[in-house]
């Protein structure tokens, strides 16, 4: 999969598997990764989402791509539409879910099955899966 998406073999791959919808907050991860790209030349960001959500998805992807391109990092981000998570999970080093609204997130279970470090916020479903002692982002930290 790294070869398919032209991701260097020695990259540290951060990935988020989530539909492109407003509540999934992909832009938060993009902003964080733009800072990481500046400091760490081997970081690569992968989004796996679905194209079926129409105009919001299209505009969100355009905004994300433009933001990354303006900073000169378009070769450090991959957006893989209509790709099975099972094809991408083996290349991830860190799994991310930053959603405003979640139940019991399947993607967290998938990250756990691949023994990935997980970056997520403190939704009840995430807390149930990862445990209360997991260090969660509450939205109050800088």
Task: List, for residues 64-95, the tens digit of each pLDDT value.
Answer: 888 899 999 999 999 887 788 899 999 999 99
Query: pTM of the full predicted structure?
Result: 0.86
The CA distance from 56 to 75, in Å, is 24
State the pLDDT at residue 24: 85
Q: C-alpha dihedral over 80, 86, 92, 95, to 10 degrees? A: 90
- Reported as a pLDDT band with limits 50, 70 and 90, residue 142 is very low
């Amino acid at each position: 999969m790294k070869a398919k998406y032209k991701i260097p073999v020695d990259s540290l791959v951060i990935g988020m598997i989530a539909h492109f919808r407003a509540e999934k907050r992909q832009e938060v991860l993009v902003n964080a990764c733009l800072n990481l790209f500046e400091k760490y030349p081997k970081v690569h960001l992968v989004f796996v989402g679905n194209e079926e959500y129409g105009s919001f998805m299209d505009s969100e992807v355009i905004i994300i791509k433009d933001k990354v391109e303006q900073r000169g990092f378009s070769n450090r981000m991959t957006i893989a539409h209509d790709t099975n998570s099972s094809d991408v999970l083996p290349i991830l080093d860190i799994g991310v879910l930053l959603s405003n609204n979640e139940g019991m997130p399947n993607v967290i279970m998938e990250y756990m099955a691949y023994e990935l470090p997980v970056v997520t916020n403190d939704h009840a479903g995430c807390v149930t899966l990862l445990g209360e002692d997991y260090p969660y982002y509450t939205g109050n930290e800088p």
